[in-house]
Amino acid sequence: MSFLSRLLRKNEVAHLGGHLYAGIGTAARHPAFFTDLQVPDTMDGRFDMLMLIQGLVSYVLMQRGEQTIAREMQEQLIRDMDRNLREIGVGDLSVGKQIKAMSSTLLGSQAAYHKALSIDDQTLAIAALAEAIGRNIYRDVEGAPADRMALAGYRLYRIWNQIETKTLAKGLTVDVGLEALQGE
């Protein structure tokens, strides 16, 4: 492969990663997460939703053999977090430590979501996803009822199914199917 081919491929991957990350950012801010599912509407809650939606999309990409694009999408998230930390006034000396902690959280959350989504039995997959959501988003806090986590697990499992279907149908254009957030 020539240098130009590699360069063009790298630019294409960066473009796709950026496009997917922008869609994830939009999806993660859907009001239903913060109203119906009572995800805390805080910086942490919003970051948690970015990690969750990114985990769902990256699982689909990795299942399709698109690890490079999944990694670029993850790097876009990290660059965005770096930029956001600097915008809110976190000092240059602290940004690296914050990004390291956020990256560790991202990888741990992603592993939990990927593990849940890899379960073949739908009921067990939803339960595992609800458990991961309880741990990563609701932080296993008292007052985070099991039925809310189960509902979140169910609705997000439906979103994942729609992502998977739309990804297969549209190549790498992922349209996160947020209609699954709406009540039955």
* Residue predicted with more confidence, 126 or 75: 75
Q: In Å, how far are 2, 11, 45, 177 from 162, measured between CA atoms?
A: 37, 28, 23, 6
Provide mean pLDDT across the span 162-172.
55
pLDDT of 146 reads 63
Task: Return all residues near 131 (Cβ < 8 A) that are at least 6 apart.
Answer: 116, 149, 153
Categorize the per-residue pLDDT at 85 as very low, low, confident or very high, splitting at 50, 70 and 90. Answer: confident
Provide mean pLDDT across the span 119-134.
85
Domain coordinates in residue numbering, the chain? 3-181
Determine what percent of the chain falls in helix, strand and coil, rounding each to the nearest 5.
75, 0, 25
Q: Which residues of 93-104 are buried (b: 16+ CB within 10 A; e: fewer)?
A: eeeeeebeebee
CB-side exposure of 85: number of CA atoms within 13 Å? 21
Q: Does residue 8 surpass a pLDDT of 70?
A: no
Spatial CA neighbour of 133 closest among 102, 118, 155, 163 = 155
Q: What is d(CA 45, CA 160) in angstroms, rounded to the nearest whole number?
A: 20
CB-side exposure of 155: number of CA atoms within 13 Å? 20
Categorize the per-residue pLDDT at 137 as very low, low, confident or very high, splitting at 50, 70 and 90. Answer: confident
- pLDDT tens column, 14-52: 888 888 888 888 888 888 888 877 788 888 888 888 888
pLDDT of 35 reads 82
